[in-house]
Copies of this chain bind each other. A is one copy, B any other.
């Protein structure tokens, strides 16, 4: 059966609830609908204004502020801050039909996966997922059907993960254009500590310290400063949770980074041109491999 034929006849998930219709949840709904992967979408959110935006943009078919009112669905996507996930899981649990697949998009996985596997009923299948995509923008207004294309999604199955549910969640993320791979929750959190969580620590610290030195300095922010601090525009509440949830790994990455900066600082203080050159060339070589990946 051809893909074209299949997408008009068989949906991956007939009825879907997106809890948190923000940048990621909203973009997933838009992209999965555009790809013919999902049918009816219920959007669950805290604020009427954002839900109204989601409805007006055709991201969702129906909206509710009550997670208990999602009705019978085949898939629940939890796209809410880490802090809210346990409460939402408790509210949802009694209303999920056997066989429902629950997935999430959180940037930290070990504590989230453990919480979900504990709180959700045993006849519901949880699959941890983290689409590594996004911008510092938030809300349904920022949702973009092309957000995930070409980027990477990490699924974090455990011994308790249902193989069929895992395959369907994998098909969902592949269907919106992502490269999908599997990793343990702990391995995921270590990778993200280095490649994302540390970057947020740096961005918030850099923006804050320059402002503290002299607020007028910010007027001279060129493209390098703007690029390096872009993610400091992200919601502090969400990032307090992510950093604390992954504190040991983020701490280790931060210590290694500070030690590297100290080496560079020492070479600068002693006018050691050769060492400075070696350090900068190592940085450029690494950065070039990012472009190739």
Contact = CB atoms under 8 A, between A and B. Distances in A.
Contact of A276 (B222, B244, B291): B244
Contact of A211 (B218, B235, B250, B289): B289
Nearest to A179: B219
B133 A223 contact: yes
Nearest to A257: B209
Nearest to A132: B222
Contact of A222 (B151, B217, B263): B151
B134 A293 contact: no
A152 interface: yes
Contacts of A287: 203, 207, 229-230, 232-233
A192 B223 CA distance: 12
Interface residues of A, number: 91
Contacts of A217: 191, 194-195
Interface in A268-291: 268-269, 271, 273, 276-277, 279-291
A-B CB proximity, top 9 nearest: A204-B283, A211-B286, A236-B280, A232-B287, A207-B286, A209-B260, A132-B222, A208-B283, A208-B282
23 contacts: A195-B224, A195-B225, A199-B227, A202-B228, A202-B261, A204-B280, A204-B284, A205-B260, A206-B260, A209-B257, A210-B253, A212-B260, A218-B289, A226-B290, A229-B286, A233-B287, A239-B280, A243-B268, A243-B276, A244-B268, A254-B268, A255-B265, A258-B262
